[in-house]
Amino acid sequence: MAEPGNIVITVIDRHGEAHELEAPTDMNMNVMEVCKAYELPVKGTCGGMALCSTCHCYILSDTELPDMKDDEEDMLDQAFFVEDNSRLGCQLRITDDLDGLRIQLAPEAEE
């Protein structure tokens, strides 16, 4: 169980290992930042501007997510390994609605 004010998201890393991350809903964080805080291999090169796709992940749970904005869609158009359930972690803000979210990190693209 998460502390009050926190939610728990599960992140499957690139080795198939699941990590349960507890994330605060009151710090204006996004999924990319939470992964980085737990030292998962998410680069977040652009700092969350939807410009790099290093936070690309696949949504595995049926969690209801906010719709994609144009910049996220544009970036995913250019990213590698994109699937129907692809999202950019930096565009998913940590709110109560994301409690129980399960994601998998997308493979790293060659740079």
Q: Is 82 in the site for ligand FES (CB under 6 A)?
A: no
75 vs 38: CA distance, rounded Å: 25
Q: In this structure, what token pair is assigned to residue 56? A: 């690309």
Scanning 2-10, 14-22, 45-53, 96-104 for contacts with ligand FES by CB under 6 A, the matching segment is 45-53
- Give the nearer residue to ligand FES in terms of CB position, either 25 or 91: 91
Q: Is 50 in the site for ligand FES (CB under 6 A)?
A: yes
- Give the nearer residue to ligand FES in terms of CB position, either 34 or 90: 90
Least distance to ligand FES, CB of residue 89, Å: 6
By CB under 6 A, the residues from 10 to 29 that bind ligand FES are none
Measure Cα distances from 72 to 57, 59, 69, 85, 86 in Å: 12, 15, 5, 13, 10
Q: Is 52 in the site for ligand FES (CB under 6 A)?
A: yes
Neighbours of 27 (CB within 10 A): 11
- Give the nearer residue to ligand FES in terms of CB position, either 3 or 39: 39
40 vs 1: CA distance, rounded Å: 21
* CA-based nearest residue to 54, from 28, 25, 80, 16: 80
Enumerate binding residues for ligand FES (CB under 6 A).
32, 44-46, 48, 50-55, 75, 88, 90
